[in-house]
Amino acid sequence: MKILTILIMTFIVLKTNCQANTNHHLYPLILIPGAGGNQLEARLTSKYKSTSFLCNKWYPIKKDSEGWFRIWFDPTVLLAPFTKCFNQRMMLYYQKELDDYCNAPGVDSRIAHFGSIKSLLYLDPNLPKITAYMEPLVNALQELGYRDGDNLFGAPYDFRYGLAAEGHPSHVGSKFLKDLKGLIESASNSNGGKPVILVSHSLGGLYVHQLLCRNPKSWIQKYIKHFIALSTPWGGTVEQMVTFASGNTLGVPLVNPLLVREEQRSSESNMWLLPSPKVFSNQTPLVITPNVAYSAHDIPKFLEDIGFPQGVLPYTLRIFPMVENFTLPHHMPPITCIVGCGCKTPETLFYGDAEFDKSPEIVYGDGDGTVNMVSLLALEANWDNKSTRQSLKVTKLRGVSHTGILKDEIAVEKIVEEISCINSENAAHVSLVSKA
């Protein structure tokens, strides 16, 4: 009886103090970034055809011995002549005969440091102070005892690509899911078989959701301890309609949005992030012109009317069936959603003269400044605890923006607290075993 009392008291102490020292009992953790948080490299081949002198093969001058150079993030994108060059090289092309996307002719691309958190710290390591991305969060995780390549890993990806509905190929996106699954298994095996904590930001959460939907219960129970989703746009964003209609500089100064609009329209993942008709009501107009109002259920017509008819086929064949089938398998692991709120977020766009080359007037609503509240909370709205038999926790942080969630002191503290609590369960289990 005395031993049982000690065990219970030990468990209570660990559960009520999530900041307990659990350095030796940490679950391995993998960070999956959002779209713009990935570093992308490119290389030009003999098939590359320049459209201008400045965008010739000599640019940029700085390349490695095999011709690879940084394409995202590269600060020269701020200069108009090089913005056009960036647009040309970042373009994706939908090949109807293959029903899949590919790079621009003559452009190879790759992600550096898969498996490591090195490429997730900054958008550009040469400008660490002004392009910090996951560095504040990683620093906090290191204080808990996490170490890169030991029990802390990163899963960057080519953020231009996405996934497609069942029956449609998505070579690049599917390869990322395969690589992520392999990384999860490797991280678990190298840490004594402990299951993995997945921490995603933004688009990364949609990839994790698809990974969970596409794998069996037995695999998830063996390898996934917990999924922490930060700022996940479960149902897309209204802001994405601005991106397709008028271009979006994402807050980068000096850039003409029309110079990057073509590239942004070509992005498979951007199409994935258009407002989902499963989440946004057909009674809610998102874009309004003098003659037409478009809801999330009118995306094909919207794409036609903004002058992007080539986007209709891939949207209707590949994207719509996938977002329309937004479901939660019965074998989901425990999930924690941490989201910002109370930030002005585009909710309705007014194009007074139906001129989509101009920026719209915007009516704002609640969200994290990028993702609307209805999208941030879509997982909770679709959660059925009885069928999933797992827990869902949602934490709202007022005044914390979409990317600020990775830097804001209170937000980082909340994320680390959640991770500490998950790890304290492991410490409690180890304590119980040793006391017995």
DSSP per-residue codes, 16-76 = H-TTS--GGGPPPEEEE--GGGS-EEEEE-TT---SSSTTSTT-SS---TTS-EEEET-GG
Identity at 260, one-letter amino acid code: V
User: Which pLDDT score, from 0 to 100, does residue 2 have?
Assistant: 46
Tokens for 39, please give them.
Answer: 């570093």
Tokens of 271: 């199409």
185, two tokens: 């298994």
What is the overall mean pLDDT for the chain?
A: 91
Stretch 167-180: mean pLDDT = 98
pLDDT at 97 > cutoff 60: yes
Which helix (H) or strand (E) is 350 found in, with range? strand 345-350
| Strand pairing class (100-103; 107-111) | unpaired
Element (H, E) at 301: helix 299-305
Q: Which residues contact 371 (CB under 8 A, 6 or more apart)?
A: 202, 231, 232, 233, 237, 239, 339, 345, 402
pLDDT at 122: 96
More confident residue, 328 or 411: 411
- Residues acting as catalytic residues: 202, 368, 402
Mean pLDDT of 167-175: 97
What is the DSSP code (8-state) at residue 142? Answer: H
Residues contacting 208, CB < 8 A, separation 6+: 32, 198, 200, 227, 229
What is the DSSP-derived secondary structure letter of residue 104? Answer: P
Q: Read off the tokens for 191.
A: 């840490």
Alpha helices in 93-251 (DSSP H): 135-144, 171-189, 203-213, 217-223, 239-246
What pLDDT, on a 0 to 100 scale, did the predictor assign at position 50?
86
| DSSP annotation string for 244-268 | HHH---TT-TT--HHHHHHHHHH-H
Helix (H) or strand (E) holding 269: helix 268-272
Q: Examine the pLDDT at 9 and tell me if it is beyond 80.
A: no
Structure tokens at 219: 């695999």
**pTM: predicted TM-score of the whole model, two decimal places:** 0.93
Q: How far apart are CA 172 and CA 161, in angstroms?
A: 7
**Strand pairing partners for 200?**
32, 229
What pLDDT is attached to residue 13? Answer: 44
**359-395 confidence digits (pLDDT tens):** 999 999 999 999 999 999 999 998 875 555 678 999 9
Cβ–Cβ under 8 Å, residues 162 and 35: no
* Straight-line distance from the first to the last Cα atom of the chain, in angstroms, rounded to the nearest whole number: 12
pLDDT tier at 358 (50, 70, 90 boundaries)?
very high
* b/e map 280-299, b = 16+ CB within 10 Å: beeeebbbbbeeeebbbbbb
Position 19 scores a pLDDT of: 55
- Strand partners of residue 122: 132
Tens digit of pLDDT for each residue in 269-319?
A: 999 999 999 999 999 999 999 999 999 999 999 999 999 999 999 999 999
Quick one: which of 14, 151, 26 has its CA closest to 432?
14
Question: How far is Cα 402 from Cα 302, in angstroms, rounded to an integer?
Answer: 26
What's the rounded mean pLDDT across residues 202-211?
98
What does the alpha-carbon distance between residue 48 and residue 169 come to, in Å, rounded to a whole number?
25
pLDDT for the residue numbered 217 = 94
State the pairing for strand pair 293-294/287-288. Answer: antiparallel
Cα torsion through 411, 416, 421, 425, rounded to 10: 150
User: Six-digit token pair at 302?
Assistant: 């919207």
Q: Which candidate, 227, 211, 180, 205, places its Cα nearest to that of 273? A: 205
**pLDDT for residue 333:** 94
Closest Cα to residue 87, out of 247, 319, 272? 247
- Does the pLDDT of residue 11 top 90, yes or no? no
Query: What is the pLDDT at residue 8?
Result: 41
Residue 287 carries which DSSP code?
A: E
Instruction: Give the pLDDT band (50/70/90) at residue 425.
Output: confident
